Chains A and B, each alone.
Chain A
Amino acid sequence: EPEVTQTPSHQVTQMGQEVILRCVPISNHLYFYWYRQILGQKVEFLVSFYNNEISEKSEIFDDQFSVERPDGSNFTLKIRSTKLEDSAMYFCASSDEVAGNYEQYFGPGTRLTVT
């Protein structure tokens, strides 16, 4: 069964460093998303992406964040200058939303630890 994959599974970085989290969405999906989940808290939407541009973003997704689809398979989230409060699980998701299929399929996540 097709699935969303994410790399790395765990990333440790120092405050102020740039990180890139990578995702490979399900191949026939058209919509891509990033969410984060701080330990013990709810899953929070960051950004959605369609047709090579951002479709929607939350207040969390400020100028420190950017997303890119550098090729036909990868979808990346970049955090330019990490802060301690960026420590969280980051989930990539994809959906096709063709004929109203709004369910989203999540990857296993990348645990980001900022020290």
Chain B
Amino acid sequence: DGGITQSPKYLFRKEGQNVTLSCEQNLNHDAMYWYRQDPGQGLRLIYYSQIVNDFQKGDIAEGYSVSREKKESFPLTVTSAQKNPTAFYLCASSIQGAGANVLTFGAGSRLTVL
């Protein structure tokens, strides 16, 4: 089955530690996205990538980093510089061009900072 796999589902982190969230897709989509979700708020874009080896900052990129070395993979690192990292993180992908707006989401990763 084609889809997006995020791991881990739940992650606990101590303050000052970096953590990396994995996102893998087998949909052959060119574009991939990371969103952050907080209770009562919409999804906010952290980073996105339209092609391998290229990515752009979204609306709330500070304290996060990404890489896109392979088409299938778009890992997100939450660094110690992110002041309020506890949240639900969603990875998504889409085709380029026509239909690019139709995002397919993964099941999410919940990060809790202790």
**Is chain B found bound to chain A in the same assembly?**
no
Chain B residues with a Cβ under 8 A of chain A: none
